[in-house]
Structure 1
Amino acid sequence: MERWDIDRYRRPALVPCEVALGGDDVLTIGVGDDAVDLSFEGVARDEVADVVAQLMLPSSDIWTKLNRGACPAWVRALMVQLDALSLIEETDSGIDSVTSGAERAIAMCAEVGQRLAAVVERRLAMYKDTLAVVHEMLADDDDGRDAPPGAFPFSGKPAGPFADNFALQALHFQLAYARRNAPELLIAWQRVLGEVFRHVCWFPAHATARARGQKDAALENFRSVASLDPVDLEMYLLSFAHFVELAPLRVGRRMTSVDTARFGDACSGLTLAARAERLLIKALDQLGSNAYASAALASKEITPLVKGLYIEQYHVTDRFVEILGPLLSRRVQRNLRARLFQYFQEEFGHEAFELATCVAFGMSETDVRASVPLPLTALYIDAYTVLAHRMPTAFFASIMVTEGLRDQHSPVHAHIAALVESALHAGDIAAKHGETNDELNHPSLSRLFLADVPHVTAAEQRYSLEAALFMLEVNMRQLESVAYFYGCQTQLEFHGLHEGRRALEV
């Protein structure tokens, strides 16, 4: 971290205080126990007193000179001394900046809401049930986030809106993530949904009054939304709209399922790991090839598809250490705790590999950092973070999805790696990341973590296996979204709403 510097204030001022003359070289500011004696040399005491009086005014010319570097050295030294005594305050409350940010957030919500409304309006009858369910999800404050999890959220539900509906299940995880980590997003999502309701002139019966009232209270509510990073807000608005759009469509249905009812007895952590491995290998065989694998294997050069893969991998690795946050604060056995912190240290900074690869491909570092992750990329991290908070064994069983199954060879990964190695400067960078993961034995992580878990209840086992399968589907869909968005491009375009970017379309 850099050292604090007085130049960082936007509109500083000395706190109002009394100024009294002390001894020959002493100036006292404040009253009683709060009084502070200032010492100085080579400057007349009256001149110092005059400067102190001016420093109480935010509009004083002295502050302007400070920002321009035009203050005499002794004046700057005095300011630093006062700041060290915590007597300088920031008088700019930031309300103008917050209000401006809120207005931009409202405009972005309106834009995303109108885009979603245009889709919904064409098939309103099909979307009514989805809109009603999503509205209830947003309005439901009793999400049980502090209660210990029982069954996996969608387990044993052969009917109802969540049954085999991947899109609504995805929204469940993003809502769970937002409630704990970014509650301001619920205000933004409600605004988007309200925009849709108003545009199509339809409201769920139980939501009419609330939906109509959101518009009037928007600015005050959105001052908290302005605290979100604009790229994050755009990412979550587009993600929300994407999953709402998918929900009633066939492509929004689950591709994988598992009956875990047969697991009625407790087991060891290593047994859970082995069962998760068998489950995922079988699911991969059943899923077969996908759009990403086909497009990647057909690539003979560094195409926008290959570049897009590294852009999205950058976004994943840029946030990946976040998923360990809920686990690092848990009081678990020392061996497991040490391994978790080791994993954090080994993953920290890996985004530099992906970013360097993107730059080697000719992309601007600024453009990559400012690009908006695809919806499935955002879900990938959010779902892992929620699982880490809810049930460690679910996280441990699922992490093999991202770190790789032991002793499993990926022809697609090998093909992409060979392409990248042939690109100028990029091969060494990408290879180093892959070699780092191999050297650190990350494909063994699930077993290493679960080896330190001697006992897993039947309920934890069922939850963990269903979580692992869900994350496998998230991973597969995330790769397919890379193929759909970047695969058809002839010239690279970043994801997003503005500045020459485009949003993912279903």
Structure 2
Amino acid sequence: MDLWTFHRYREPKLCVDAIQVSPDAPAITLVQGDTHYTLAVDDPAAAARIAKELATLRDSGAPLWDLMREAGADGWGALGAFLDSRALIGEGHDETRQALARRIAAIETCIAGTIAAIRENLPSGRLERLAAHAALLRAEANATLSADALGTTGDPFDADVQPNFFLALIVAEFAYFRRSAPLTLVAAGVMLARIAGDDATLPETDAVIEALSLYDPRDLESHLWLVARGLMDSTGDAARRFSTPPVPDLPMLPGLEFMRRLEVLTRSALAAWGENAYVTLLDALGDRWSPLVAGPFIEQYHVTCRFVEIVAPSLSRRLIAPLRAMMFRYYGEEVGHEAFESATCQALGITQAALDKAMPLPLHVAYVDLLTLVAQLDPLTACASIMVAEGVFGEPPDMSIRLAAAARTNPAFSDLAGDHEALNEDLNHNSISRDAFEHIAAVPPAAQARVIRRILFLLELNHRAWSSIADFYGPQTSLHLQGSLGSMLSPEGRRAC
């Protein structure tokens, strides 16, 4: 962390109620409320002179401020450090209103641009459904603002409650926004109201002003794009939830036995769904290089930058000792892994500037959000969901093997691409869910059903996220990343014309 010094004030000013010179001793007293600070000097004449100079510091433009900044650690510089350490220097620069106005204007521009982008080229029938779905979701957003709820009609992860995958996804995102991105929840409500045909503006409430000062506008932009794209996709033919095995009616089970049965159910669901679109396109390449091969590493970089967020909610829970120790160890083993993905992307010719400027594909944003939400809401599902992120125990890393084959003509890339995967294998990360449930004494029937429904949703999200890589990178003849509002961004970070 950086050490604070008074040099960082833009327009410093001395904030004291009074500056007093003692008639009986060579000293100056600074009065602030009921606190007095006495500065000893050489003689009364010097005290009077210094007190007069100190009084000028109430003006940010006083030449003495420049002298203090240039004085180093002695003399006036030491006095400046003393004053600041006692909170007697204030910041005179205040552009609060202008800063808030700029941020509100930027959000308004983002909302307008996002709406225009998703409406473009959408057939009239889907535009009507878009407005209808936006009205439904606006009500959900408003309900989430006023109550800490996960869906107004039941668990959105349950296909019987919400059979439209994208509507369920957005409702779940609202619950995430409320906890982790409250400004986005308000902005999403405004955007949905406008799509539904109503006038709405960002309210300047105390809560919104506070959020404007705290939350990242780039994350807000990325989340609004996720909500808008999800809304658009909710009107399409592929929105219906995948078919899944029925949730079994089981008795109370020991944790490890429940995990075994969940693995069996997971394999059954994945087999029924078949290959995702990404695998199909990758196989069709015949081990040739294509932007399609780079796509997973770009998106994995964005996921890995945030991955510890998925583990962090479990660290504050008073879990049983083995689970608590396991989660702290898992967190420590995941910190900094984005360096592997960054190095891989650079081997592919993608600059760090481009990675910093790029927007993750919407479903990859949602992937981290919902795994984090599950960890916030449901520690039992959180333990099981590690299987979604790290792979089912006993399954080989097929995707890594296929990508390595497609990239074999690039030795620099081949040397790096497997580093993160190899580390995860060395650390036995696909054993974590089993390790966790070994220590869980019992899982009652209702909890089993809840965990199964949520894991099936997360598996479907993962499957669709891979397909979204195929949709974005598959048609490309030269590699581009996703920029603002779905635009194309070059590997050097330039926006394509």
Q: What TM-score do the two structures reach when normalised by structure 2?
A: 0.88
Report the equivalent of 1:368.
355
Q: CA deviation at 1:64?
A: 5.5
Q: What is the CA-CA distance between 1:312 and the residue it aligns to?
A: 0.9
Structure 1 stretch displaced more, 104-113 or 8-17? 8-17
Partner of 1:34: 35
2:92 paired residue number:
91
Once the two structures are TM-superposed, the CA of residue 273 in structure 1 deviates from its matched residue by: 1.0
Q: In the aligned structure 1, how far is the partner of 2:99 from the partner of 2:145?
A: 33
CA shift, 1:463, in A, is 0.9
Whole-angstrom CA distance in 1 between matches of 2:202 and 2:155 = 38
1:137 CA drift (Å):
1.0
After alignment, is 428-437 or 462-471 more displaced? 428-437
Between the two structures, name the one with larger relative contact order (CA 8 Å, sep ≥ 6). 1
Question: For 1:53, what is the secondary structure of its paired residue?
Answer: helix
Contact 1:165 1:254 in 2 (8 A): yes
Does 2:35 match 1:49? no
- The answer on 1:21 being equivalent to 2:21 is yes
Distance 1:47 1:435 in 2: 70
Distance 2:329 2:110 in 1: 40
**How far apart, in 2, do the equivalents of 1:16 and 1:403 lie?**
58
Distance 1:270 1:412, change over 3 A: same
Alignment of 1:378-397 (within 5 A): 378-397=365-384
Counterpart amino acid of 2:264?
R
SS state of the match for residue 39, structure 2? strand
Q: Which amino acid is 2:456 matched to?
A: L
Listed as ranges, the matches of 1:133-152 within 5 Å are: 133-141=136-144, 145=148, 152=155
The reply to whether residue 405 of structure 1 matches residue 392 of structure 2 is yes
Is residue 222–residue 360 contact of structure 2 (8 Å, CA) maintained in 1? yes
2 CA distance for matches of 1:499 and 1:487? 15
Change (3 A) 1:7 1:431: farther
Give the structure 2 partner of residue 349 of structure 1. 336
Does residue 1:257 correspond to 2:257, yes or no?
Answer: no
Deviation of residue 49 (structure 1)? 2.4
State the match for 1:206 in structure 2: none
* Aligned match of 1:111: 113
Q: Does the 8 Å contact 2:151/2:172 carry over to 1?
A: no
Q: 1:453 aligns with which of 437, 440, 455?
A: 440
- In the alignment, residue 89 of structure 2 is paired with which amino acid? I
Report percent identity of matched pairs: 30
Which residue of structure 1 lines up, in the alignment, with residue 179 of structure 2? 180
Match of 1:208 in 2: none
Q: Using the TM superposition, give the Cα deviation of residue 382 of structure 1 relative to its aligned residue in structure 2, in angstroms.
A: 1.0
The 8 Å contact of residues 327 and 392 in structure 1, kept in 2 or not, is answered as: yes
State how 1:85-484 maps to structure 2 within 5 Å.
Answer: 85-95=86-96, 96-118=98-120, 122-123=124-125, 124-141=127-144, 145=148, 152-155=155-158, 157=160, 163-197=162-196, 202=197, 211-212=198-199, 214-215=200-201, 217=203, 223=209, 224-225=211-212, 227-260=214-247, 262-297=248-283, 298=285, 300-420=287-407, 423-484=410-471
**CA 302–90 in structure 1, closer or farther in 2 if over 3 Å, else same:** farther
**TM-score scaled by length of structure 1:** 0.87
Q: Give the superposition deviation at 1:269.
A: 1.1
Q: Give SS of 2:104's match.
A: helix
User: CA separation of 1:220/1:28 partners in 2, compared to 1, >3 Å: closer, same or farther?
Assistant: closer
Contact 2:150 2:175 in 1 (8 A): no
Deviation at 1:231, TM superposition (A): 1.6
Contact 1:11 1:58 in 2 (8 A): yes
Distance in 2 between residues matched to 1:221 and 1:438, nearest whole Å: 45
Please give the alpha-carbon distance, in whole angstroms, between the structure 1 residues aligned to 2:257 and 2:375.
20
Distance in 2 between the 1:73 and 1:424 partners? Answer: 57
* AA partner of residue 375 (structure 1): P
219-228 vs 115-124, greater mean Cα deviation: 219-228
Cα gap change, 1:233 to 1:144, in 2 (>3 Å)? closer
In structure 1, stretches of 5+ residues that fail to align are 203-210
Contact kept in structure 2, 1:234 and 1:496, CA below 8 Å: no
- What CA distance in whole angstroms lies between the structure 1 residues aligned with 2:28 and 2:409? 71
* Contact 1:106–1:222 (CA under 8 A) maintained in structure 2: no
Q: Letter of the aligned partner of 2:386 in structure 1?
A: I
Aligned length: 484
Cα distance, 1:65 vs structure 2: 6.3
The amino acid of 2:30's aligned partner reads: I
Letter in 2 for 1:290: N
Structure 2 segments unaligned to the other structure (5+ residues): 491-497
Q: CA RMSD in A?
A: 3.1
